[in-house]
Every structure is written in C-alpha cells, then in structure tokens.
Structure 1
Amino acid sequence: MKTRVSCFFLLVFFFVQMVKGEDADLWQLHASDISAPYVGAPMANGGIGILPWKEPFSVRQVILNHVFDTDGPQGVSRVLKGINPFLLSMDVDGKKVDSECVANWSQYVDMKEATHNSSFQIIGKADINYSICALRNMPYAGLIRVNVKVLSDMSLKVAARMDVPQEYSQSTQRFRKMRADATQMYMLQSYATSTHRQQEVSASSAFIFDEDKATEVLYDEMDKEIFFTMKLRKGDSLSFALIGSVCSTRDFSDPYNEAERQVIYAIHEGTDALMVAHCRLWNELWESDILIEGDDEAQRVVRFALFNLYSSCREGSRLSISPMGLSSQGYNGHIFWDSELWMFPPMLMLNKGIAKSMIDYRIDRLVPARKKAMAYGYKGAMFPWESDDYGEESTPTFALTGPLEHHVTADISIACWNYYCLTRDEQWLRTKAFPLMKEVADFWASRVERNDDGSYSIRNVVGADEYANGIDDNAFTNAAVIRALEYACEAATICNEPVPEIWKEISRNICILRFKDGVTREHATYDGEMIKQADVNLLGYPLYFITDAKAQKKDMEYYADRIDPQNGPAMSYSIFCVQYARMGDVKRAYEMFCRCYQPNLRAPFGVLAETATSDNPYFMTGAGGLLQAVINGFCGLQITDSGIVQLPSSLPEHWKKVIVKGIGPEKKAYVRENR
C-alpha cells in the first residue's frame, strides 16, 4: 500500500491554502446551530449526488445520474436513489454518538475543494471532524475522511453499513476479506435490482487506514455492517476514511465487480492521492469563476450557484442537468427546457466541455424525437417536454405540458446555434448540429397553421407560463420558433445545404400579438391574469426578439407583478435583471436580482429552492438564472454570430467590480467596474 502522507502531498495542501488566501470566507458556507432549521447541501460530481445532513455522520441519500426505473408498475420513469454505502456510525465507551451527546457542533461547505465538513466534541471524550466529498476524479465514488483527537481514555467502535432504498425489490449483501499485493482489505458489498425496469445497482465500501494504524475489520451478520474497535488513550489521534462506490448497469455491464474494483483502486491510491486529484480537477473548474467585489453575500450565493451546476454535470458524459440536478429525485430527474434555456447559457460561457455534454445529450436522442413527431402527425423531430435516458416523453400523463409544451423543441435548436457561435466549429455544425436543427425546422413547418391573411399561427400549446393550457399564439413559443427557423437558415448556408423557402416564409410571418397600448400579449386570450413565470419578457432576453428598450421596459412593467409571488419559480426575475441592467436602471436591476434568489434561500447554507414556498432544493434552474443575471446582465456579456461581445450595462451602486473569468475557448476575463 502506498504511503498515505508525503512531502509532496503536504506541499500541495499548503499551496491550496495559500490560493484560498484572504478570501477563504467567500468560498465557505457555515452552520453553527444543530437545533436550527436545516436543509442539506448536496455534494455531487456529475455521476452521483451525496446528501449529507446535520446529525453526526448522517448521509440521507445517494442519487444516480440518469439511472431510471419507474415510480410504479405503470408509472413514468424516475431517477433512482442509489444504494447508500456512506452510512457511518461511532460508539464511544459503548454509547452511540448522536446529536444528544455532542457539543461545539459546526459545519461548513468548502466550495473550492467541494467538501462538506463537520466538527463536534463528544463531551469529555474526543474532538471529531470529518469531511464528505463526491470525488471529481472518480464519478461513481465518494469519500468520508474522519479525524479523532482523544481527550480522555476511551474505547471506540466505528461501523459502516449500507442502505438499500425501497425502490429495489431484491438485494444481497456480503463481506469480503481479500489480499491484493500484500494489502489486506475488508469490503462490504451490496447488490440490488430495481423493482420495475430491472436496473442492477451495486455498491462497495471499505475503510482506509494509515499504514501504521491498520486494524482488523470485522463483520456483524445481524446488523449487516463492517466495524473495527480500538482502545485509545488521552492525547492519541486517529485518522481513517470510508470509501464507497456505486455503479449500475446503465454505465457498466458488470457493476458488481466494477464497484469493487473502484474501491480497491482507491485503497491503493490512498486518501491523500485521491484528494489531490479531486482538488486538481476542481481547481481546473474554478479557472472559470465570477468575482464580485463589494457584496460578500452576492459573491457567496452566485459562487454556490456555479458550484452546484459544476457539480451536476461533467465533460464527456453526454448527459444534461435536470431541474434538481443530483440533489434529489425532484421532477423525476428528467431533462426539461430548463437545461437549454437556463443552465446551458452560463455553462456555455464558463465551461465548454460541460456545455457540449448537455448538447450531446439531445443530439444522441434525435431518433426518439423523430418518432415522437411521427406519432403526433408531424414531420421532423419533436423533443419531449420531459426526457429520461431513452429520450422519450416521460411527463406524467395528468400534465398537459407533456402533449402541449412544444417550445422545448425550438429551445434545443437555439442552444445548438449558440454553441456554434461560441466555438465556430463548422465540422460540428455540419455533422452534429445542423441535422438536428433541420429536423426541428421541418417539425415547425408542419406544426404551424397558415391564416387567411398569410400570417402563421401556432395553436393549442402550453407556453413558458404553464398556468395557461391549450392557448394559441403564445408569445414565447412563437418567438422561439422564429429564432429556430432563422438559425436553421443560417446554419444551412454555412453548411452549403439547401435552405427551404418555407422556413424563411414562416419565420417572417409568425404572429406576435400585442395589446392596443403596445404591450406584447402573452397569448390570444390573455387578459391580465396571474402567470406562473416569465414568458413575454423572454422576448427581450434571451431571444433578443424585442430589442427596443422602451418596448422591453413596457413589457416588464406590465408583467413583473403578474408573476405568482408564492409559487413562481426563482429564475423569472433574473430575466428582468438582465434587461434593466443593460438599460442602466440600477435600482430596478438590483431589485430583480435580489428577488431571483433571496426569498428562495434555505438555511443554513443558502441552498436555493424553486419557489418562495417550496422545499425542494437545490434548484439548478434557478442557479442558471442567477448566473445569467450577473454574466449577461451586470457584466453585459452576450453571444452573437460573431462571438462574445460586452454590451453597456450597470452594476448595483454598492458593487465595486464584477469579473467573469475563464470565458469562452480563450478563457478570457471580462470586467465591469463602478466608476
């Protein structure tokens, strides 16, 4: 086994501390009252999500990325909880360590190192601290590192077990002793089959000790746990770790042995090497970051939003991000328009690899989108409102969004075009994006209806405002279709492909309705009622369909207070923030910025919920909107046909400076200062 600590690792550790420097507090989110209201902050790596909680060593669940079963015998698909191999417990002098016997409890999330850290004192016996992370270098594995400082003589028992969630119908567990290259290993393994679609999931876990502290690990057949015991004296210290891996048949043909291999690899690497690799990859991610001078709260909230998006996806995965990421089973883990309209734009600016994975997800599912269009009597490709791993419609049947919310098909094409505009990758456009954009344009050409006056309408849809079902000529849907058709025409020209005249004709003649006073009308029968979220205002940004500042302002003044203040999702107000910031209306821009996150923060870490009244964090869609408010609003960045430009915009009066660094392929930094 490799030596656990070396001079090299210590140098790396001190270097990381120096990098943090004086702004360490801006990288950390703290909790200090174990009895206060608590919502956990997930730790994820794009493969699995781990949810720590406040009780000593508590991990409530593990979420698997894009591993689906159904929510019932004839139910829709739902992302699976994984077997949880991260359940540690500790007994001191025969008494279980729980919330009742600890003092000086505190936790903090370290965003720079992507760790969730806890510390407490077992009264009169020991000081304990431990750290949980989802390893960025091992996307199916997590690591818990524990340090014990003994205050008085005591006996210690540490156990680890696994939890198999209820959505599995069969499970087996075994304990293995094995020796590999002179290293004695003790592993706990569990294997289960999901109830309905027969997804097979396996987890393995093992303790890792320093070489000079290696101890025998035993198995308790009754409690189904591995454990070790020690007698410790005052002044002693002990460090150990628990490594766990969770694999499924979605990603491996043999998840059972793969989970075991990953644990064996981790044992031989050692915890220091694992953490060095983990931190190196996170340092690479943080080369693209947002710096806000003059508002520490905004800095932490915005960085936490970026941290959660980085945690939810990874370059090369060809997967996208669901509204709740890897924090929970919220929205069944499906992929919505949230991905393309809200999360993709900041990822495209800050991390091209993650953005490409999100687009790859849709490109890989073009075939089922063609089948859906055919099934509903249309041509081309019609993407599902809620997509699971198969790329088929996964919306619960009671929701009209599934059969009627079609704008997602336009949103995906727009995202493809924006990726091209940033990268200028013509080969990718020709071979990957344009085939999708063409199918989308063909779908809309078959979906619109021509009116007697030569205009075109899109009837019987659900728009971005999901309180309005089965309406005609929804403003956002129609404008998104115009943009998708225009971009398809431009892409065809670049690729030397024919441009059907019907695409041009439809794009020039789709209806955008207005009231008599010039305010854009949300749909044909809209008459001022409450709306769920921004719809018309998306025409000013991000569609750039309404470019006149006076017209944008008129629309914003009309719709801002019509958004449901209790159940409207977080991201709507970010759209208002972008437009007001670009207009130079600092007061209104900052008001909208605050409204897009402050009512939705949950103690103690500021985890973002979807609405002011919901309890379903972390809401990745809201994170995407919050980042756009800063990147595209206060900093003024915009992707155009010629690449990134920085438009005039204004900062809140108390902000000194915003720096958005690591932008685009050249990793440029853009600055906006208050003069």
Structure 2
Amino acid sequence: TTADANAVRGNNGIYLSNGTVGATFGNRGFGDKEGVVYRAGLYDDQETLRPIPAGHIPNIAAPKPDEPYRQTLDLKRGVLITEYDRRTVTAFVSAARPDVVVVHVKGATKDEMTSGTADRIGNSQAIPGAAGVPTRYVCADYSYVADAGSTNSFTVIYALSEGATEQSAKTAASTAVQFALAAGFEALLAAHTRAWEARWDAAGISIDGDPEAQQLVNKLTFDLLQSVRAGGDHSVAPEALSGNFYKGHIFWDADIWMFPALLAQYPDAARNLLDYRYKHLPEARAIAKSQGFAGADYPWESASTGKETAPSGFSTERHVTAGVGFATWQYYLATEDTPWLKERGYPVLSGVADHFASRAKKNAASGKYEIKGVYGPDENKGKVDNNTYTNALAKYCLEAAGKAAKIVGKPINSKWAEVAKNIALPFDKEKGAYLARDADELRSTKQADGELVIYPARLPMPQATAEKTFDLHAPRPIKTGPAMTASMHALIAARLGRADEAEKYFRDSYRPFVRGPFVLFSEKRTLDRCVFTTGAGGILQSVIYGFGGVDFDNWDGIAKAPVALPPSWKSLTIRGVQHEGKRYIITVTKNGRTVKAQ
C-alpha cells in the first residue's frame, strides 16, 4: 500500500529496451496480446516510428484483478521479475544481443508447457520509406521451447530484425533466435547481466541522506542508458522506444536535454546522438540552402530522412541547430577526440556556424546582427525577433567553430567572430537582466526560455546579472508546462549557489511527474505516458552539472565553483566522469568539492 496518489496512475507497463528494440511489459511479465515493439530508426512512409506486432504471446493466465502479484525491476541487471500464482516470469531485452527479447517462465502448468512449444515461423512485413528512403523489411521471429529436463519451465526467444530485402530480414531474425536458443536462458541472462553490471561499475551517482533522490537518479539513469546503444547512429525520441507519441521524432530534446546527461559518464553512448546528426548533415545543408542561407540548418523534427517533419511554424524553431553545434563542441571538450573532431565534429560545427553567420543580418542603425522570425523555447509566443537563448547559443557555436578550426587546421570564416561579437542579445538596463527576446512583455511562458542564456548557453555575464536574469524569468513558466523546466531551474540555482532554492526546484522537477512504484516519469502532471527521457535528462543534468558542478567549458574551475548541495543531502559522489580519456570521481559535501582520478 502507499499514500502516494500517483502510485495508482500511469502504471501502463514497464519499458525495457537495449537501444535497438523497445518493449513494454504488463502485470504478468509479458506484453499484452495486442502489444507491439519498436525498433530504433524504423519509420514508415509517413515518417512515423512504426509499431511492430509482438507476435505470439505464450498462453499464460494473467493475474486476476484482485489476485496479488509481485513485480521487481532489477536496475542493476536490467531484468523484470514477475511472481504470481506460483509462477516466476523473468524478462529482459538483451543488452548483449541487439535484436533479442527473452522471457522465461518457471512454474507453468502442463497445458501451458505444451501450448506453444513448437518453433514459429517469423512473420515479415514491408515498411515503405518516406520519399527517397528505400523500403525496409522487418521480421519478428520467435521460438517457444521447454527448458531441458524441466516439466514446468520454458523460455521464449523473440527477435525483431530488419533488412533491405524480405529474405535478409527473415534470415537475420531466424539467426538471432537460433543463436539465442543455442546459448540457452542462463547464458543469455548472464551475458545481459554482465553488460549492465559493466555500465554500473564504470560510473554512478551516490546521494547520501536522500533515498528518494537516490532511487530517482538510479531509475532515470537506467531509462536513458537502455534507450541508446553505443556504436549506432540513432538518436533518442522524447519517449524513446516506449511508443510513437510525437511520431518517434528527434527534437532539441536529444541534443540539449539527453545528450549532456549521458556525456559526462557515458560519452560512447552519447556519441550516438551526434552520429545521427552527422549522418543527416547533407539534409541540414539542403534545408539551409532552400532558405537562401549557407551552412547547415537542422530540422526541428526529424526521423529517417533527416528532412523537416514539423508542422508549419515550428519549423522556424532555429535554436535546434544551435543545440546540435553546442552538443558537438561539448563532446570534444569532454573527450579531446581530435580525429573524431576532424572527421565528423568539425563538418557539423562549421556548418552550424556558417549558417548563423549567414542567417544573422546586420542592423545598420545598431550595428548588431539580428535573427528575426524564429520560435524560441516559449512556443506559445510564436515567431519572435532575437530570441536571446537562440542568439546566445549561436554565439557559443560561432566561437567554438573558430577554436575547432585551429585544432583541425582549417581556414576560419572571418564572419564567425564578427557575428559572435556583435549578435543581438536583448538586455534591460534598468532591470540589469537579459530579456527573452525583443519586445519581451515579461508575461507567462510555456517553459524555461530567457533563463536558458545562463545554462546551457553559458553566456558570459557577471554573477549579479545572472542572478537578476534568473529571478526575472524563473517565475514565468506556466504550472502546466512540460517537466523539464524545474530541473533546469534547479541546475541554474545550484550554479548560482542557492542551495535551498535549488532543492525546491529539484523536488518540483519530479514529484508531480513520477508515477509509483517504478518511478515512471511522465511529461506532464496530467498525463500518464511514462517514459519521458527528456525529463530524465534534465533531472540528471541538475545533479551532474548543477549540484555536482561538472563543467567541460571550465574543467579546472570545478573544484572552485559555488557549492549548493540540497540541505537534506549529506554528500554527493559522481563516479566515472570522463575527461580527456580519463575517469574522475567528483565528491561534494557542505564543505566543498573535490575532483580526483578514479
């Protein structure tokens, strides 16, 4: 029992994934008969993430409405265990085999043991691509086999594979199933467990004095990690592979909210999100050219083609392009991977810089470069002139491109520095604070906007200006807005040294949105779609970059940065922070912050 009103809401199943395949499991440890699974990057001709029927579901009776059952999500191993009516169902989406889902049942009845023991032939279907994208074929194959020497346990191996031809998809799925069958359940579980334990052993976050926050951070880290597979080139949608809300499209959520949360401790996983952007650099260049601009301009929403898929109006939300450049430079600062910068990072970053140098137009009267007619993060306002966050992040990219050019030995576009130095940044001298845009009426906003010039845009400013800017904008977002605003407020407050305020925002960033008992995170207070990886990234950033003080732009200054640990926390330890190929442990107490080699 629980007094948490949210505990009875939103338990629509437990999402498990390996970054390639995502599935949701119900209260009997299986998906429902109508259930579907999703495969990363598999979009149809409408550019919508395609749901694939899960195929055969073993004939296992579900718990009755009033029948007790016990369900445990083991985060350390990435395993869901469901117990009811003398049955134990163990399920996982293999972290060791990208196409494979495994379900093991112990305590099955005789009828259940014989209801589906024959191998099934995989069902395949064609997924027509959008214009210019070849048709892909997907095959769902599975086998339902009794465990050797057992009269009451069996294993279901499910594989979801794709290919350029129907036969190649079938062959891939069949091969995945047969390899898994040959290995057996125990070996599959062991390999999957080792993969997850390696992640947790390499890095982690420990909060002493706040079990609630500790559980939250563990679960949200798990949700982000399971939604990306190192070595791929797929990005992460706002609700990952749990469904196709927002059509499974890629937004600024990936580059600004999720990427930094992964970068600090798992740069190899974070790189996937950048490789997706690099893969679609030609399309970004085509978008810029179609508007009469130079460089690369990334779409507000994208899927398999890399083309703009957003409704009209939202396609002018140009801060998404600055976010791509920001993430690219952050990756280099964290890793100092110069070969990567030369091959992939610099082409993207210089493309972004060329675009803003072309898009920003000089105002003859003021001498400032202006970017007009764009949406800012406050989408309720519509098109505005000189959204300060957009311009500040463009400035960051223009300056970063100049630094990157020197590193890789490329010529520098002289206009980068000129625009960066003179870009319009609306400022109220009387208030001593940056505004959100030209003609800012200081009314309510959909979400954080003007305050984002402090972070992530990192616009250089005196402490007093940062405080006045934050105080001006923090009260503005509406209370029914998306979850990530409060986490950014917590981060900024912490960086300003305001411990009590930071803790309040931190609690506000998750308590109205979490659905118990599995810490299912919803985008909005009123909704129960509960795998909002954007919000997960925001909260983890508040811990890592806010309370933890991690700053790849000023690594040497981390130990000296203001300490604003929540009063209820005794200490915060962040293991496995990677910088220039080495791992570090950052420890924060009320007395200060230390950085030491791991």
Normalization by structure 1: what TM-score?
A: 0.81
Matched, 1:69 2:44: yes
Greater Rg by CA? 1
Consecutive unaligned residues in structure 1, runs of 5 or more: 1-28, 71-75, 91-96, 122-126, 162-176, 178-184, 214-236
| 8 Å Cα contact 2:8-2:516 kept in structure 1 | no
Match of 1:200 among 128, 133, 137: 137
- Equivalent residues in 2 for 1:617-656 (5 A)? 617-640=530-553, 645-646=558-559, 647-656=561-570
**Which residue of 1 is the match for residue 71 of structure 2?**
107
Amino acid at match of 1:187: R
Q: Residues 607 and 56 (structure 1 numbering): CA distance in 2 closer, same or farther, change over 3 Å?
A: closer
Separation in structure 1 between the aligned mates of residue 8 and residue 433 of structure 2, nearest angstrom: 50
Amino acid at match of 2:582: E
Question: For residues 210-241 of structure 1, what are the alpha-carbon distances to aligned partners after superposition, in whole Å with 9 as ceiling and x for unaligned?
Answer: 2223xxxxxxxxxxxxxxxxxxxxxxx72211
Q: CA deviation at 1:548?
A: 2.5
Separation in structure 1 between the aligned mates of residue 323 and residue 264 of structure 2, nearest angstrom: 17
Matched, 1:148 2:107: yes
Q: CA deviation at 1:159?
A: 7.4
Q: Which has the higher strand share?
A: 1
Separation in structure 1 between the aligned mates of residue 115 and residue 570 of structure 2, nearest angstrom: 49
Matched, 1:488 2:401: yes
Q: CA deviation at 1:38?
A: 2.2
**Which residue of 2 is the match for residue 87 of structure 1?**
57
Amino acid at match of 2:119: Y
**Which residue of 2 is the match for residue 411 of structure 1?**
323
- Equivalent residues in 2 for 1:274-313 (5 A)? 274-286=188-200, 287-313=202-228
Match of 1:157 among 112, 116, 129: 112
Separation in structure 2 between the aligned mates of residue 340 and residue 56 of structure 1, nearest angstrom: 33
Q: CA deviation at 1:250?
A: 6.4
Separation in structure 1 between the aligned mates of residue 198 and residue 324 of structure 2, nearest angstrom: 28
Amino acid at match of 2:95: R
Separation in structure 1 between the aligned mates of residue 300 and residue 126 of structure 2, nearest angstrom: 28
Separation in structure 1 between the aligned mates of residue 248 and residue 377 of structure 2, nearest angstrom: 20
Consecutive unaligned residues in structure 2, runs of 5 or more: 592-598
Question: For residues 267-286 of structure 1, what are the alpha-carbon distances to aligned partners after superposition, in whole Å with 9 as ceiling and x for unaligned?
Answer: 10001111111011111111
| 8 Å Cα contact 1:66-1:389 kept in structure 2 | yes
**Which residue of 1 is the match for residue 13 of structure 2?**
40
Normalization by structure 2: what TM-score?
A: 0.91
Q: What is the identity percentage for the equivalent residue pairs of Structure 1 and Structure 2? A: 29
Separation in structure 1 between the aligned mates of residue 329 and residue 165 of structure 2, nearest angstrom: 30
Separation in structure 2 between the aligned mates of residue 196 and residue 427 of structure 1, nearest angstrom: 33
| 8 Å Cα contact 1:37-1:604 kept in structure 2 | no
Q: Residues 194 and 159 (structure 1 numbering): CA distance in 2 closer, same or farther, change over 3 Å?
A: farther
Q: CA deviation at 1:253?
A: 7.1
Q: Residues 360 and 58 (structure 1 numbering): CA distance in 2 closer, same or farther, change over 3 Å?
A: closer
| 8 Å Cα contact 2:110-2:152 kept in structure 1 | no
Q: CA deviation at 1:431?
A: 2.1
Separation in structure 1 between the aligned mates of residue 499 and residue 420 of structure 2, nearest angstrom: 35
**Which residue of 2 is the match for residue 49 of structure 1?**
22
Match of 1:450 among 352, 362, 372: 362
Secondary structure, counterpart of 2:83 in structure 1: strand
Match of 1:672 among 583, 588, 593: 588
Match of 2:82 among 99, 118, 123: 118
Q: CA deviation at 1:141?
A: 1.1
**Which residue of 2 is the match for residue 172 of structure 1?**
none
Q: Residues 437 and 599 (structure 1 numbering): CA distance in 2 closer, same or farther, change over 3 Å?
A: same
Separation in structure 2 between the aligned mates of residue 450 and residue 422 of structure 1, nearest angstrom: 34
Q: CA deviation at 1:41?
A: 2.4
Amino acid at match of 1:595: D
- Equivalent residues in 2 for 1:543-582 (5 A)? 543-566=457-480, 568-582=481-495
Q: CA deviation at 1:440?
A: 1.3
| 8 Å Cα contact 1:39-1:603 kept in structure 2 | no
Q: CA deviation at 1:553?
A: 2.1
**Which residue of 2 is the match for residue 242 of structure 1?**
156
**Which residue of 1 is the match for residue 595 of structure 2?**
none
| 8 Å Cα contact 2:29-2:81 kept in structure 1 | no
| 8 Å Cα contact 1:58-1:88 kept in structure 2 | no
Aligned residues: 576
Amino acid at match of 1:331: Y
Separation in structure 1 between the aligned mates of residue 229 and residue 557 of structure 2, nearest angstrom: 23
Q: Residues 525 and 244 (structure 1 numbering): CA distance in 2 closer, same or farther, change over 3 Å?
A: same
Match of 1:336 among 242, 245, 251: 251
**Which residue of 1 is the match for residue 572 of structure 2?**
658
Q: CA deviation at 1:103?
A: 2.9
| 8 Å Cα contact 1:140-1:246 kept in structure 2 | yes
**Which residue of 2 is the match for residue 604 of structure 1?**
517
Amino acid at match of 1:666: K
Moved more, 460-469 or 598-607: 598-607
- Equivalent residues in 2 for 1:211-222 (5 A)? 211-213=148-150
Secondary structure, counterpart of 1:77 in structure 2: coil
**Which residue of 1 is the match for residue 596 of structure 2?**
none
Q: CA deviation at 1:369?
A: 0.8
